[in-house]
Amino acid sequence: MRNDTTDECTDDSRATTGSRGRAVSRRRFIEAAGASGVAVGLTGYAGEVDAQGTTTVQWATDQLASDNSDAIQQALYDAGLSQDIEIDFLAGAWGGGRQDQYQQWLSSGRERPDLFMMDTGWTIPFIYRDQVVDLSQRLPEETISRIEGDYFEAHVETARGPEGNLHGVPLFIDLPTMQYRRDLVEDAGYDPEGNNWATESMTWQRFSEIVADVLEQNADDVDYGFTFQAQSYNGLPCCTFNEFMTSWGGAYFGDPTQNLFGPVGDRPVTVNEQPVLDAIRMVRTFIHGTEAENTLGDYADISPSGVLQWDEEPSRRPFTTGNAVAHRNWPYSINQSGSDENLGDALGVMPIPYAVTEDEAQYPGTGGPVAALGGWHMTMNPNSTKQEAALEVLDAMMADSFRLALFEIVGWIPPAPDLLETDQAQQVPVMGDYLTPIRVAGENAISRPVTPVWPQESQRIAQQVNSALSEGGTPEQAMSQLEGQLQQIEESAN
């Protein structure tokens, strides 16, 4: 599975859409329709049924879901969806193109698709533009309570509007981990199982020492120590650097528990503070070694300069083929690297390392083994004429059986942590063996600071961080410039 969590908003313009209308339960909808003489079809969806008595709900999703449409449709029926509702799977391209297409459709008031699969990284701007339905007004209260109580908290927060209501139902969560060559690590004298690497994160300093040692002991067979993504692209500010910085106790806008999603213009810009600068110095040490300027003496030289041009796939390939000791990436990489034709049982997975503990961190919600949040939500088109049937689809999608079926069919990780403890989840090939560190990642996940101005800010962060990490880069200068750029963007948004 190719990960798509690094999509970014590309259009900040506010669009006007059709009215959402009042919240109406399905029962009241049918009763009202009957009283007014409107025809109600076999499923009870007035005005939504074709001549064959079938309601077709169009779901804007990805190619992976479309390729497995029959199995997913059956899983929905098994979860209780009426047999009179069919899903039309509309596959979209990976990357920002899908987001742009959604924006175009919703801005024009188009009635279809009825349901949209939206990235956690750009759902909030659609909410702020009133382009998706407020599901807190349409789903039963017990359903909303279940989402808020049983799902990964960080994931749920990326589906909330400014008033606190939910505008999306989490579909699946995507979480990064540190993947490593367990065979080489054990041969070098380390004991991942005995030291609980799968659950107890280690410091970045200890991690760099171990990787350097393993690399030295295998210098004839392995070229790289630690591979990751540091290209100047949207995945750097949202994810890789977000993890480095937050694990040092730093933040883009101060206290993430208060300021992550705004208010824009009324929050401090904190990229020029010591924890952020130290995070950059650490990564510079990984890439350039301690002899270079603006580095830290307690960390090892473990990464190739190529990481400055790599995103997910170029950074993954050396590891999957056995040519790197450790690699930071998303779950799709576990699936590929852990396959029998690649590393197989030689793959190890652990949480992302950290620099300071939560107690030592400057801001609440930082420090410790943080993991950048990825994943997708289900949202509903306010212009859809098939909202009652679409709500039935959302209800079926929340069934545990459907969540687990999606994990088996396409590898999408359930957004409810308790499901990762089930026998069914743990029996899924490859991925089922690594659910413990994935759950730790989910419990320590942090979102990118998504607001309507995040696309502009993300671009500036990517440029300045990549520059600071490059040979000759100066963390203080880059972060001072970035501080001014972010302050200007924040102020101009008011």
pLDDT for 96? 62
- CA 292, 295, 301, 302 dihedral sign is negative
pLDDT at 255 over 90: yes
Q: How far apart are CA 420 and CA 410, in angstroms?
A: 15
* Two tokens, residue 176: 């990064």
Angle among Cα 163, 164, 166 to the nearest 5 degrees reads 115
**How large is the average pLDDT for residues 118-143?**
95
pLDDT for 494? 72
CATH class, range 26-174+375-446: alpha beta
Around Cβ 49, how many Cβ atoms within 10 Å?
Answer: 21
- Among the ranges 28-32, 43-47, 432-436, which has the highest mean pLDDT value? 432-436
Q: 63-74, pLDDT tens digit by residue?
A: 999 999 999 999
Exposed e or buried b for every residue in 472-491, given b needs 16+ CB within 10 A?
ebebeebbebbbebbeebbe
CA atoms in the 13 A half-sphere facing the CB of 404? 17
CA 107 to chain centre: 25
**How large is the average pLDDT for residues 402-426?**
96
CA dihedral of residues 475, 477, 483, 484 (deg, nearest 10): -160
Give the chain's radius of gyration (CA, Å): 23
CA dihedral of residues 199, 204, 210, 216 (deg, nearest 10): 140
- Long-range contacts at 285-288 (CB < 8 A, ≥ 24 apart): 285/208, 286/208, 286/226, 287/230, 287/469, 288/471
Which of 41-55, 132-146, 454-468 comes out lowest in average pLDDT? 41-55
Token pair 């030289």 in the structure block, residue: 301
Q: How would residue 49 be classed by pLDDT, with cut points 50, 70 and 90?
A: low
Q: How would residue 253 be classed by pLDDT, with cut points 50, 70 and 90?
A: very high
Verify cis geometry, omega within 30 degrees of 0, for the bond prior to 263. yes
* Two tokens, residue 485: 């750029």
Identical fold for domains 26-174+375-446 and 177-372+453-492, yes or no, is yes
pLDDT at 39 over 90: no
pLDDT for 92? 85
Q: 332-388, pLDDT tens digit by residue?
A: 999 999 999 999 999 999 999 999 999 999 999 999 999 999 999 999 999 999 999
User: Where do the structural domains in the chain lie, given as residue ranges?
Assistant: 26-174+375-446, 177-372+453-492
Q: How far apart are CA 423 and CA 415, in angstroms?
A: 16
What is each CA distance from 481 to 270, 387, 462, 474, 487, in whole angstroms? Answer: 12, 47, 13, 11, 10
Please list the alpha-helical segments (H only) found in 151-288: 153-157, 182-187, 204-217, 235, 241-247, 256-259, 274-288
Q: How far apart are CA 451 and CA 239, in angstroms?
A: 16
Helix (H) or strand (E) holding 178: strand 177-181
Q: Phi, psi (5° rounding) for residue 348?
A: -120, 150
pLDDT at 30 over 50: no
Exposed e or buried b for every residue in 280-291, given b needs 16+ CB within 10 A?
bbbbbbbbbeee
> Could you give the percent of the chain with pLDDT greater than 90?
86
pLDDT at 179 over 50: yes
Q: How far apart are CA 437 and CA 333, in angstroms?
A: 14
* Two tokens, residue 249: 């106790």
**How large is the average pLDDT for residues 318-341?**
97
Q: How would residue 97 be classed by pLDDT, with cut points 50, 70 and 90?
A: confident
pLDDT for 493? 85
pLDDT at 52 over 90: no
pLDDT for 53? 77
Q: How would residue 48 be classed by pLDDT, with cut points 50, 70 and 90?
A: low
Around Cβ 2, how many Cβ atoms within 10 Å?
Answer: 13
Q: 167-178, pLDDT tens digit by residue?
A: 999 999 999 999
Polymer length of the chain: 494
pLDDT at 402 over 80: yes
Q: Are 66 and 87 in contact (CB under 8 A)?
A: no
pLDDT at 274 over 50: yes
Q: How would residue 2 be classed by pLDDT, with cut points 50, 70 and 90?
A: very low
Around Cβ 66, how many Cβ atoms within 10 Å?
Answer: 15
Verify cis geometry, omega within 30 degrees of 0, for the bond prior to 314. no
Q: Phi, psi (5° rounding) for residue 114?
A: -85, -35
Q: How would residue 37 be classed by pLDDT, with cut points 50, 70 and 90?
A: very low
For the chain, how far is it from start to end, CA to CA, in angstroms?
A: 40
Q: How far apart are CA 318 and CA 183, in angstroms?
A: 16
Mean pLDDT of the chain: 90
**How large is the average pLDDT for residues 140-154?**
95
Q: Are 487 and 302 in contact (CB under 8 A)?
A: no
* Two tokens, residue 53: 């008595």
Angle among Cα 266, 245, 471 to the nearest 5 degrees reads 115
**3.30.470.10, 3.20.20.210, 1.20.120.80, 3.40.190.10: which CATH number matches 177-372+453-492?**
3.40.190.10
pTM of the model: 0.87
pLDDT at 31 over 70: no
**How large is the average pLDDT for residues 216-221?**
97
* Two tokens, residue 218: 């295998």
